[in-house]
Amino acid sequence: MEIIMAEKMGFCFGVRRTVEIAMKIIENKEQNVITYGPIIHNEDLTNYLKQNGIGYVLNVDDVDERKAEKVIIRTHGAKREVIENLKEKGVKVIDGTCPYVMRVHRIVEKLSKDDYPILIVGNKDHPEIIGVTGYISNVPYFIVKDVEELEELRKQGKFDKIKKIGVVTQTTEKIEKVRKVVNYLMDFIPEVRYFKTICYATDENQNAIHKLAPSVDVVIVIGGKHSSNTIKLYEIAKSYCPRTYHIQNEKDLKIEWFNINDKVGITAGASTPDWIIQNVVNKIKEFERILERGEIYEKRS
């Protein structure tokens, strides 16, 4: 079996930065620190933080109950009003928002000031997008996940009076999908201002899996079940390689997925810690040894 790692994968700059803030707090044995929402979409990591005293809340109101003195804003960011409400409560806010997400906040703020309606391409329920909407004021905005949803809104007449529009995307969007949306908008809106807000880390991880997936027999995509950039990596890999599996950690691996002569490609979402990737590689090597010894021959036949 040959294990081939994607050229780029795993923790991105933004996640590494926020996780380092939390790790430093653990190292300094600081008490009464929580995060606003799970720090990143990775259960193993959020469990680790919880075991070391950094839990999370989903609502500002829950901060009092936890007697929190410091609140870390997660990588995905939060609405401006959330940050203001936290400050009003007297807690210290440590802003772990990824600078690439902050850039989207600044862009929609400016578009709002310049009176541009805004189209966001992304998942309306994702914390990053919820946060972004908190920086839009006094202009209509729309959130679509793809060109089909945009067509639907157009049929409903939502764009009838719109002559100009600003477009931003979730940082983890796929560029192919965004191109379709922008091209479609250009058909009927005279002025379309598109801002490329897909972050470089997402681009790099996606490009690497585009390159790797066609040349392997199996692809293992490691990352949280709710991590949108991991899901995108899975979709890309699956489009080339039918034997693509999305796992959260080594415990999800199944020996039945592998054959002794397989080339196994590995990639990981931007919120996957290095130690989980290493555990997965070790487990696949363990499977390889079992397959070599033919120990599961009976079970497989």
Residues with active-site annotation: 128
Q: Which of 206, 283 has the CB closer to ligand SF4?
A: 206
Stretch that binds ligand SF4, among 95-103, 111-119, 139-147, 250-258 (CB under 6 A): 95-103
Query: Helix, strand, coil proportions of the chain in percent (round to 5)?
Result: 45, 15, 35
Contact in structure between 48 and 70 (CB atoms under 8 Å): no
Residues 252-271 that bind ligand SF4 (CB under 6 A): 270
- Residues 222-241, one symbol each (x = binds ligand SF4 by CB under 6 A, - = not), give -------x------------
From the CB of residue 81, how many other CB atoms can be counted at a distance below 10 Å?
Answer: 11
Selected binder of ligand SF4 within 68, 120, 199, 280 (CB under 6 A) = 199
Rounded Cα gap, residues 207 and 11, in angstroms: 15
Residue 171 CA to chain centroid, in angstroms?
8
Stated as kind and residue range, the H or E segment containing 220 is strand 218-222
Selected binder of ligand SF4 within 100, 116, 141, 159 (CB under 6 A) = 100
Residue 233 Cβ vs ligand SF4, minimum distance, rounded to whole Å: 11
SS3 135: coil
Residue 201 Cβ vs ligand SF4, minimum distance, rounded to whole Å: 4
Strands 92-95, 70-73: pairing is: parallel
Residues 6-65 that bind ligand SF4 (CB under 6 A): 12-15
Q: Which of 19, 21, 23 is nearest to 40 (CA)?
A: 19
Residue 177 Cβ vs ligand SF4, minimum distance, rounded to whole Å: 16
Which residues contact ligand SF4 (rule: CB under 6 A)? 12-15, 75, 98, 100-101, 171-172, 199, 201-202, 229, 270
